[in-house]
Amino acid sequence: MKELLQTLGPVCAVIGAQWGDEGKGKVIDILAEHFDVIARACGGANAGHTIVVNGKKHVFHLLPAGSLHEKKILLGSGMVIHLPTLLEEIQTLRDAGIDVVPRLSISAGAHIVLDYYRDIDGVMEQRRTETSGGKIGTTKRGIGPAYIEKAARSGMRMGNLSGYFSSPIKADLGKELRVRKTLAKEMFGVDVDTTTEEANLRAAYDTVGSCVIQMDEVFTLLQGTGKRILIEGAQATLLDIDHGTYPYVTSSSTTVAGALQGLGLPPKMLTSCIGVAKAYCTRVGEGEFLTEETGEIGERLRERGGEYGATTGRPRRCGWLHMPDLNFSTHINGFSCWNITKLDVLDEEDIIRVGGPRGTDGTVTFTELPGWKTSTRGITAFEDLPKNAQTFLRLIEERTSVPVNFIGTGPGREEMICRS
């Protein structure tokens, strides 16, 4: 592990290579103890990272997956934060004996997701369905409306909290909420409970108001001498607003470039980028999925992989690994190495299929490999894997020209092969 850490360098990003849900949280959790700052850059509570430690499951939506370690935590300017969700996560960790507030920093530039944004999200999805005949498949967590307000320069940011509650000349929060209430009703038919919104903002200010830092303080936190920074990406490359499978994407920049922008880090500081992909593939929501299996195989992968959303609980669409997607994500992000997760989910398959380019008839061509038909669960050395599993992983390396250095063999923190 020591040699592998040296190759990663002091500033490492972990970025999903598919449509999210690849299992980024586990490698982040494993690496976090070796870094000084764990930074979440973009997105909001539409993300869900699950960590299993000593058999206990921890699900994070806003806090970084590395929060279980005693490290500095930063929520960057690229994020949109639903404050009740953040406070709930903080309290859940407190109940487990972990208080993150003393080591938590939140960029003043991060935007706030107000409760009523979630209702607007639902209305917008319904309108899309009625007018275009199709929906995006949003999580309805208010993420899209928050980024719309951000782009329109009318959003509410974390840095505004002190102006509402502690500035000698307080901003008129009541007036702002009343204006928002009128607009939400006129434009979307959505009611805004201004009392609840104000109470949520007040509770957040009381709990994390002291954690909000200005951009110059973010620079100091991230660019101090000798700092080791682990950057946690949210969602994944194929959901990127610019480079993903538009319009079936999220509302933020999910690539490593988006992460650096969301944190205010210069690109030259990045020393490595880990691409995370499942040994198969999943997708939630709508949009093209060229290697999807809709029958018995897809159901088997779903059940063995527990493919139900950490955020929504909805079943994920399942299918095979698609090499053109991995190569595209490699091109966009410049991956240094792969973390291939959930290898054990394929343990019972007779044939492992790997999607390739489209043929002349427009359909995907497949390479078929023999399965290994034996358990890989909990294996921690590459040499101990079945030969057919090793062949499968080497195929990924050969076709992407990126080494597979991390291999997940189960949900537990310890069930990971770390290979230099």
Same domain, yes or no: 63 and 131: no
Bridging pattern class, strands 337-341 and 272-278: parallel
Catalytic residue among 21, 29, 119, 344: 21
Q: Which residue has the tokens 């609840």?
A: 196
Q: CA 60, 263, 16, 288 torsion: positive or negative?
A: positive
Domain that holds residue 119: 111-211
Domain boundary among 164, 189, 211: 211
pLDDT tops 80 at residue 168:
no
Residue 362: which pLDDT band, with cuts at 50, 70 and 90?
confident
For residue 208, report the phi and psi dihedrals to the nearest 5 degrees.
-125, 10
Question: Rounded to whole angstroms, how far apart are CA atoms 299 and 303?
Answer: 6
Same domain, yes or no: 225 and 320: yes
> 240 an active-site residue?
no
> 58 an active-site residue?
no
Mean pLDDT computed over 382-395: 98
Q: What is the CATH number of the domain that holds 293?
A: 3.40.440.10
Mean pLDDT computed over 303-318: 86
Same domain, yes or no: 63 and 6: yes
Same domain, yes or no: 241 and 385: yes
Residue 5: which pLDDT band, with cuts at 50, 70 and 90?
confident
Mean pLDDT computed over 116-145: 85
Same domain, yes or no: 272 and 195: no
Same domain, yes or no: 393 and 319: yes
Mean pLDDT computed over 217-238: 89
pLDDT of residue 204: 97
Same domain, yes or no: 277 and 398: yes
Same domain, yes or no: 207 and 235: no
Cβ(259)–Cβ(79) below 8 Å: no
Token pair for 121: 């999200």
Domain boundary among 188, 211, 234: 211
| Cα distance between the two ends of the chain | 7
Same domain, yes or no: 259 and 314: yes
Question: Rounded to whole angstroms, how far apart are CA atoms 251 and 146?
Answer: 9
Q: What is the CATH number of the domain that holds 205?
A: 1.10.300.10
Question: b or e along 138-153 (b: 16 or more beta carbons within 10 Å of the residue's beta carbon)?
Answer: bbbbbbbbbbebbeee
Residue 371: which pLDDT band, with cuts at 50, 70 and 90?
very high
Catalytic residue among 29, 36, 49, 111: 49
Same domain, yes or no: 20 and 123: no
Mean pLDDT computed over 1-18: 92
Cβ(108)–Cβ(68) below 8 Å: no
Domain boundary among 211, 231, 265: 211
Bridging pattern class, strands 56-60 and 49-53: antiparallel
Same domain, yes or no: 104 and 118: no
Question: Rounded to whole angstroms, how far apart are CA atoms 108 and 354?
Answer: 44
Same domain, yes or no: 358 and 275: yes
How many domains is the chain partitioned into structurally?
2
Lowest mean pLDDT among 13-17, 49-53, 225-229, 284-288: 49-53
pLDDT of residue 227: 85
pLDDT of residue 53: 66
pLDDT tops 70 at residue 310:
no
Within 10 Å of residue 46's Cβ, how many Cβ atoms?
A: 27
Lowest mean pLDDT among 121-135, 221-235, 381-395: 121-135
